[in-house]
Structure 1
Amino acid sequence: MVTPDTILMVQQGDNPSADFFVRPYLHGKGTALTEIHLHSPSPPLSTPVAGVVFVRYLTPAWCKWVEHNRSQIGQLVFFMDDDLLDMNTHAGLPFRYRYKLWKLARRHKNWLQRMGAELWVSTPWLAKKYSSWSPQVLQPQSPYTNAGPQKTLFYHGSASHGAEFEWLYPVFEQVLEQDASLSVELIGNHAVRKQFSALPRTHVLHPMPWPAYQALLARPGRTIGLAPLLESRFNAARASTKFFDITQAGAVGIYANHPVYRAMVRHEHNGLLLPMEQQAWVNAILQLSESEQTRQAMWEQARNLTS
């Protein structure tokens, strides 16, 4: 709810610039903060607000909105933690990124000054360079909490697992919403990256050669591995190799209750065998996430089978 003491923070989605600098600074002042995505519709202002802070970028639509509502806006601020306003410093950067900096930052410099915007920056170097603007330097603060390490839920599919990726999407959506301690790790191509980009705490790794994948599995940190398998002629020929992959990763596995896995997995002994029902997988993931003792016991039984 926008109130007279609210500051609107306009940003291009969640980003480190806001997390390290702007958000902790404003929270430290006890500011009532409302966050708005840069490309969301700008809100109607029925009451004055304490200020508007643009984090790194702004658009012509927001410029028009500010001009229309300037009398109801207290502070107007532009924050940058790179030299966004000098095109000479962008030489050597990729063309698309240079164009983005011009489109969303550099071309608005004169407008910002004309509107009486304050400049907030991240370093004394930037403050010195733009000293004529009397910038304020914000000190970085850690955005990391002491909530404990994340538990990694992973599915390492390939191009032949498109149907399984589709099937897993609502499963991941639910567990990520219900358990903030879980992150998702996938292996997939650009289409998979795009498909899962809207999910929080989800990381998509590029497909890799077999030796690199073996090294990946040897790194610690994975908790629950998934091996769904939908009925198809192609899947009928699968082998149970994911059992070995998941166990090598130090994780307990949830496997489709399919002939491929029945010969290897004993339910609740060295893994879970589940029907391909999404809610059953959601429930099992959440239960395993809560019980380290259960995970450890099943993993040890799986390791005994693979050693």
Structure 2
Amino acid sequence: MMSTDSSSSQWVVIQERENPSFDFFVRPKLSAMHADWQCVLLAETPNQCLTSHETDESEPGEKLNLLFVRYMNKTWRTWIKNNRQKIASIVLFIDDDLLDWQATSGLTIRYRWKLWNYALKHQRFLRDIGAQLWVANHYLAKKYASWQPVVCPPSTWQAQTITQTIFYHGSASHKQEFLWLKPLFERLLCDFPHLSIEIIGDGETNLLFRHLPRVHVLHPMSWPNYRALLARGGRHIGLAPLLDSQFNAARSCTKFYDITQAGAVGVYAEHPAYRDQVIDQVNGLVVPMDHERWYNAIAMLLKDQNYYKSLLARNVVDKE
């Protein structure tokens, strides 16, 4: 069996995406070992994602410890076969019973196929090369005792502090506005690490924004449920972009009332729909549909709390 005693060499954590398995179990284990690690995605090409390791300040010839969180694939398996001399150890971590086909009975066919393709069919290979098994609980440790597994005790994790939330509650008629907002959201999330964004949209909208951190896409809902959502609070800046189109020419001021009922400050498109409700820099911001100007307007609200509060104080409607 390959040794995993050395915590001084580089660990490469391979995972499908950011996930609770790593945060609750694997990260605490590596931290307790005082290990140096980097995380890469399972879908990445090994030679590409490991280049940074080979070019950093690590010792010449230093070997890698590879740690697969739940899953591995054929590409990584082939790389391991061809690069055994570069590998100090290989570990598979599981927090569900991913290695017993019978245990997956009752799950959907699609999920069973995933478990077979990314876990089950690699079990023999991992055992044959002397990989170590880390598990999340004593049930798994007992079941796979022949593998001499290591139990990783769970630990709490520190949630990222979110202090400001932007929201855009669009609908199926706002496809172009969603596309327009995408680069704006990418820039804001990069520049403001304590910012989250809430969107209402369909599956297509979710696909558009799923790569971004701290973006929450809610399903469309009934009007009574939406009213209750707004009453829950916790939103700071509401967005009401409108691009020029024949359909948008007839838009009404609904978004103004949504934003004010949510207790937020609104950033509105320079559009006739808001002309009678919004006075620029009095009870909201009216901004032409230009990415740079929208970014600057939102950034000012995020940075200057006195400015934000002055607009919020005058942004009141009758909630009765």
Partner of 1:15: 19
- Residues of 2 paired with 1:52 and 1:288: CA distance? 44
Q: Secondary structure at the match of 2:123?
A: helix
Aligned residues: 303
Once the two structures are superposed, residues 165-201 of structure 1 have per-residue CA deviations (whole angstroms, 9 ceiling, x without a partner) of 1111111010001001111111111111111122111
Q: Secondary structure at the match of 1:268?
A: coil
Unpaired runs of 5+ residues, structure 1, are none
- Residues of 2 paired with 1:291 and 1:125: CA distance? 53
Pick from 158, 165, 171: which aligns with 1:144? 158
Pick from 73, 95, 104: which aligns with 1:59? 73
- Residues of 2 paired with 1:303 and 1:85: CA distance? 58
Q: Which amino acid aligns with 2:171?
A: S
Q: Which amino acid aligns with 1:32?
A: D
Partner of 1:35: 39
Partner of 2:208: 195
Structure 2 residue 188 is matched with structure 1 residue 213: no
Q: Indicate if the aligned counterparts of 2:230 and 2:262 stay in contact, CA closer than 8 A.
A: yes
Identity level (%): 46
Q: Which amino acid aligns with 1:62?
A: W
Once the two structures are superposed, residues 180-234 of structure 1 have per-residue CA deviations (whole angstroms, 9 ceiling, x without a partner) of 1111111111111111122111111111111111111111211111000111121
Pairs within 5 Å for 1:19-98: 19-43=23-47, 47-98=61-112
Partner of 1:241: 254
Q: Which amino acid aligns with 1:210?
A: W
Q: Indicate if the aligned counterparts of 2:261 and 2:317 stay in contact, CA closer than 8 A.
A: no
Deviates more, 1:265-274 or 1:22-31: 22-31
Partner of 2:270: 257
Partner of 1:104: 118
Structure 2 residue 151 is matched with structure 1 residue 121: no
Structure 2 residue 283 is matched with structure 1 residue 270: yes
Shift of 1:243: 0.9
Pick from 159, 169, 172: which aligns with 2:172? 159
Q: Which amino acid aligns with 1:31?
A: A
Q: Secondary structure at the match of 2:75?
A: helix
Q: Secondary structure at the match of 2:314?
A: helix
- Residues of 1 paired with 2:164 and 2:251: CA distance? 28
Q: Indicate if the aligned counterparts of 1:244 and 1:306 stay in contact, CA closer than 8 A.
A: no
Once the two structures are superposed, residues 63-87 of structure 1 have per-residue CA deviations (whole angstroms, 9 ceiling, x without a partner) of 1111222232112100011110011
- Residues of 2 paired with 1:33 and 1:301: CA distance? 50
Q: Which amino acid aligns with 2:213?
A: P
Q: Secondary structure at the match of 1:295?
A: helix
Counterparts in 2 of 1:306 and 1:254: CA distance versus 1, 3 Å: farther
Shift of 1:17: 1.1
- Residues of 2 paired with 1:195 and 1:98: CA distance? 27
Q: Which amino acid aligns with 2:245?
A: S
Shift of 1:305: 6.1
Q: Secondary structure at the match of 2:13?
A: strand
- Residues of 2 paired with 1:263 and 1:169: CA distance? 28
Q: Which amino acid aligns with 1:91?
A: S
Counterparts in 2 of 1:208 and 1:304: CA distance versus 1, 3 Å: closer
Q: Which amino acid aligns with 2:260?
A: T
Unpaired runs of 5+ residues, structure 2, are 1-7, 55-60
Q: Secondary structure at the match of 1:76?
A: strand
- Residues of 2 paired with 1:218 and 1:193: CA distance? 24
- Residues of 2 paired with 1:299 and 1:165: CA distance? 25
- Residues of 2 paired with 1:189 and 1:233: CA distance? 23
Q: Which amino acid aligns with 1:24?
A: P
Compute the TM-score of the two structures, normalised by the length of structure 1.
0.93
Q: Secondary structure at the match of 1:303?
A: coil
Q: Which amino acid aligns with 1:286?
A: A
Compute the TM-score of the two structures, normalised by the length of structure 2.
0.90
- Residues of 2 paired with 1:122 and 1:168: CA distance? 41
Q: Indicate if the aligned counterparts of 1:84 and 1:105 stay in contact, CA closer than 8 A.
A: yes
Partner of 2:58: none
